Amino acid sequence: MIAFFQILLAALLLFGCAFILLGALGLVRFSDFFKRLHAPTKASTLGVGCVLVCSVAYHLVLGEDPQPRELLVTVFLFITAPISAHLMAKAALSLMMESRPEVPGERGVSEEE
Amino acid sequence: MNGPTIFTAALVLCMHMVGLAMLLALWRLLRGPTLPDRILALDTLSVTAIAELMLFGMYIDSAIYFEAALVIAMLGFCSTVVLSKFVLRRDIVE
């Protein structure tokens, strides 16, 4: 039973770390900042959530100090990741106003006028 | 191959993968063409540091790295917010 549980935890760990690595790879490989913003803020957050849940289960079942304290970090990360991504997108928009693509509806409106 | 062997092998492999992710984020932090790229790389670096600390805490079978991970999470969020506010307004305490 313990061995099956450990194999399950190893699978969860590999899943989460694959997502962390994909997020960092997307941070390096994508071409634009607004494309780069997607990879770490979503994929890496999911990966760290998986690793922290795995740590909670590991210390709960196999360790000697069973307290679900890592859930605090998980909840904190899942609350703060969208806020920081929103603020970074606002900062990038304020810096790169001239390289923004045109808003789709505006040309049609000006042609009608 | 029994359960603890598989789990320890997966743990070591995951520590290497997260370390590679930290190196990629560090490359983007050093090279990043614009300022928001560097802020994003710093945020990613703090998130991956949390994962690496929790993996190391599981590897040596202790729970003392939880406090370090919590502090890194809070300081990473605050630094991201403050750097973005500085880029937005050039003034942090308004």
| Residue spans of chain B under pLDDT 50 | none
Note the pTM of the prediction, 2 decimals: 0.85
Segment A55-95, tens digit of pLDDT = 888 888 876 667 778 888 899 999 999 999 999 999 888 88
User: Taking 50 as the threshold, does the pLDDT of residue A113 lie above it?
Assistant: no
Name the residue among A13, A28, A33 with its Cβ closest to that of B34: A33
Distance from the Cα of A55 to chain B's closest Cα (Å) equals 7
Name the residue among A6, A33, A84 with its Cβ closest to that of B81: A84
B13's CB contacts (< 8 A; 6+ apart) are: A14, A17
